[in-house]
Structure 1
Amino acid sequence: MANWIDALAELQAQGEAGVLVTILEEHGSTPRNAGSKMVVSATALYDTIGGGHLEYKALAIARRLLAAGTQQPHLERFSLGASLGQCCGGATVLLFEPLGQPRAHIAVFGAGHVGRALVPLLASLPCRVRWVDAREQEFPDALPAGVSRVVNDDPVEEAERLPPGSYCIVMTHNHALDLELAAAILARNDFAYFGLIGSKTKRTRFEHRLRERGFDPAVVQRMRCPMGLAAVKGKLPVEIAVSIAAEVIATYNADFGQHSASHEPIARLLPRSRRGQALPG
Structure 2
Amino acid sequence: MSLDRATLASAVAAQGSVVRVVVAEVLGSAPREVGAAMLVWPGGQEGTIGGGALEYEAAAQAREMLARGEARASRKALLGPDLGQCCGGAVTLLFEAWDADALAALTDTLHARPVDDGASQTPPLAVVRLRAQARRSGARPSPRLVEGWFVEPLSATRAPVWIWGAGHVGRALVETLAPHPGLALTWLDTGADRFPATIPAGVTHRSAPDLAAAAADAPANAHHIVLTYSHAFDLALCDALLGHGFAGLGLIGSATKWARFRARLGQMGHRPDAIARIRCPVGEKRLGKHPQAIAVGVAYGLLMELAQNEAERPAPGDEGNGDDRRALDA
TM range, smaller chain: 0.5 to 0.7
Question: CA distance change for structure 1 residues 57 and 173 in 2, over 3 Å: closer, same or farther?
Answer: farther
Displacement after TM superposition at 1:216 (Å): 0.4
Q: With a CA cutoff of 8 Å and minimum separation of 6, indicate the structure with the bigger relative contact order.
A: 1
* Greater alpha carbon shift after TM alignment, 203-212 vs 122-131: 122-131
Displacement after TM superposition at 1:37 (Å): 2.8
Q: Which of 253, 271, 276 does residue 198 from structure 1 map onto?
A: 253
Q: 1:114 and 2:169 equivalent?
A: yes
The aligned amino acid for 1:184 is: A
Superposed CA deviations along residues 217-254 of structure 1, whole A, max 9, x for unmatched, are 00000001011245x61211011011111111111111
2:279 maps to 224
Q: Structure 1 CA distance, aligned partners of 2:229 and 2:237?
A: 12
1:128 maps to 184
Deviating runs (4+, > 4 A) in structure 1? 10-13, 18-24, 32-36, 38-41, 43-46, 48-53, 56-61, 70-73, 75-79, 94-99, 268-271
2:300 maps to 246
- The count of corresponding residues between Structure 1 and Structure 2 is 237
Q: Is the 8 A contact 2:284 2:294 kept in 1?
A: no
Q: Is the 8 A contact 1:117 1:237 kept in 2?
A: yes
2:203 maps to 147
The aligned amino acid for 2:158 is: R
Question: CA distance change for structure 1 residues 121 and 60 in 2, over 3 Å: closer, same or farther?
Answer: farther
Q: 1:74 and 2:141 equivalent?
A: yes
Q: Which of 27, 34, 38 does residue 37 from structure 1 map onto?
A: 34
1:166 maps to 222
The aligned amino acid for 1:37 is: V
The aligned amino acid for 2:257 is: K
Superposed CA deviations along residues 176-204 of structure 1, whole A, max 9, x for unmatched, are 1110000000112x311101000111111
Secondary structure in 2 matching 1:255: helix
Displacement after TM superposition at 1:255 (Å): 3.1
Question: CA distance change for structure 1 residues 138 and 224 in 2, over 3 Å: closer, same or farther?
Answer: same
Q: Is the 8 A contact 2:184 2:203 kept in 1?
A: yes
Task: Describe how 1:239-278 pairs up with structure 2 within 5 A.
Answer: 239-257=293-311, 258-263=313-318
Q: Is the 8 A contact 1:21 1:39 kept in 2?
A: yes
* Gaps in structure 1 of 5+ consecutive residues: 25-31, 86-93, 272-281
Q: Is the 8 A contact 1:106 1:166 kept in 2?
A: yes
Secondary structure in 1 matching 2:279: coil
Question: CA distance change for structure 1 residues 50 and 234 in 2, over 3 Å: closer, same or farther?
Answer: farther
Displacement after TM superposition at 1:263 (Å): 2.4
The aligned amino acid for 2:253 is: G
Question: CA distance change for structure 1 residues 72 and 112 in 2, over 3 Å: closer, same or farther?
Answer: farther
Q: Is the 8 A contact 1:134 1:153 kept in 2?
A: yes
* Greater alpha carbon shift after TM alignment, 162-171 vs 249-258: 249-258
Secondary structure in 2 matching 1:132: strand
Q: Structure 2 CA distance, aligned partners of 1:174 and 1:240?
A: 18
Q: Is the 8 A contact 1:108 1:131 kept in 2?
A: yes
Instruction: Using structure 1 for the length normalisation, give the TM-score.
Output: 0.66
Q: Structure 1 CA distance, aligned partners of 2:11 and 2:138?
A: 18
Q: Structure 2 CA distance, aligned partners of 1:15 and 1:175?
A: 45
Q: Note the aligned Cα RMSD (angstroms).
A: 4.6
Secondary structure in 1 matching 2:278: coil
Secondary structure in 2 matching 1:226: coil
Task: Give the share of equivalent positions with the same residue, in percent.
Answer: 31
The aligned amino acid for 2:194 is: E
Displacement after TM superposition at 1:76 (Å): 8.6
Superposed CA deviations along residues 81-106 of structure 1, whole A, max 9, x for unmatched, are xxx49xxxxxxxx995654x443111
2:265 maps to 210
* Gaps in structure 2 of 5+ consecutive residues: 14-19, 39-70, 75-92, 95-113, 320-324
The aligned amino acid for 2:292 is: V
Question: CA distance change for structure 1 residues 95 and 169 in 2, over 3 Å: closer, same or farther?
Answer: farther
